[in-house]
Chains A and B, each alone.
Chain A
Amino acid sequence: MATQDGGQSQSGKSRREDEVDEVAPEVNPEVAERVEQIGEDVDDLLDEIDAVLEENAEEFVRGYVQKGGQ
Chain B
Amino acid sequence: MSVRRIMGTEVEYGISVPGQPGANPMVTSSQVVNAYGARPELTRGGRARWDYEEESPLRDARGFTYTGTAYDPAEALADEDLGLANVILTNGARLYVDHAHPEYSTPEVTNPLDLVLWDKAGERVMAEGARRAATIPGSHPIHLYKHNTDNKGSSFGAHENYLMRRQTPFADIVTYLTPFFVTRQIVCGAGRVGIGQDGSQAGYQISQRADFFEVEVGLETTLKRPIINTRDEPHSDADKYRRLHVIIGDANLSEISTYLKLGTTALILTMIEEKALGTDLGIADPVAELRSVSHDPSLKHLMRLRDGRRLTALDVQWAYYERVKSFVDDRTGSDTDEMTRDVLQRWESVLERLGRDPMLCSQELDWVAKLRLLEGYRERENLGWASSKLQLVDLQYADVREEKGLYHRLVARGAMKTMLDPQRVELAMVEPPDDTRAYFRGRCLAKYASEVVAASWDSVIFDVGREALVRVPMMEPEKGTKKHVGALFDRCPSAKDLLEIITS
Contacts and interface: CB of A to CB of B under 8 A. Distances in A.
Interface in A11-70: 11-13, 15-16, 19-20, 27, 31, 34-35, 38, 41-46, 48-49, 52-54, 57-58, 60-70
For the residues of A in contact with B, the DSSP-based class is helix
Interface string B360-395: 101000000000110011001000000111011101
A9 B19 CA distance: 55
B480 to A, nearest CB: 28
For the residues of B in contact with A, the DSSP-based class is mixed
Given A52-B403, A53-B393, A68 B99 contact: yes
Contact of A46 (B319, B362, B376): B376
Given A12-B318, A69-B156, A70-B159, A57 B392 contact: yes
Interface in B107-166: 149-152, 154-157, 159
Interface residues of B, number: 68
B311 interface: yes
B59 to A, nearest CB: 30
Given A2-B310, A57-B389, A66 B154 contact: yes
A11 B318 contact: yes
A34 B360 contact: yes
Interface string B162-184: 00000000000000000000000
Interface stretch (B257-265, B333-341, B406-414, B448-456): B406-414
B310 A45 contact: no
A38 B12 CA distance: 33
A2 B221 CA distance: 35
A4 to B, nearest CB: 5
Nearest to A58: B388
Counting chain A residues whose Cβ lies within 8 A of the other chain, the interface size class is: 35 or more
A12 B322 CA distance: 8
B429 interface: no
B57 to A, nearest CB: 23
B25 A54 contact: no
A11 B406 contact: no
Interface in B396-429: 396, 403-404, 406, 409-410, 413, 415
Contacts of A57: 387-389, 391-392
A15 B319 CA distance: 10
Contacts of B21: 63, 65
A10 B118 CA distance: 38
B413 A48 contact: yes
A66 B15 CA distance: 7
Interface stretch (B60-68, B233-241, B349-357): B349-357
Interface string B219-232: 00110000000000
A58 to B, nearest CB: 4
Contacts of B391: 57, 61
B93 interface: no
A2 B307 CA distance: 8
B101 interface: yes
B187 interface: no
B465 interface: no
B16 interface: yes
29 contacts: A2-B304, A2-B310, A5-B315, A9-B315, A12-B314, A12-B315, A12-B316, A13-B315, A16-B318, A20-B356, A31-B360, A34-B360, A43-B376, A44-B413, A45-B409, A46-B373, A49-B393, A53-B392, A57-B391, A57-B392, A63-B21, A66-B14, A66-B16, A66-B25, A66-B154, A69-B12, A69-B155, A70-B221, A70-B222
Interface of A: 1-5, 8-13, 15-16, 19-20, 27, 31, 34-35, 38, 41-46, 48-49, 52-54, 57-58, 60-70
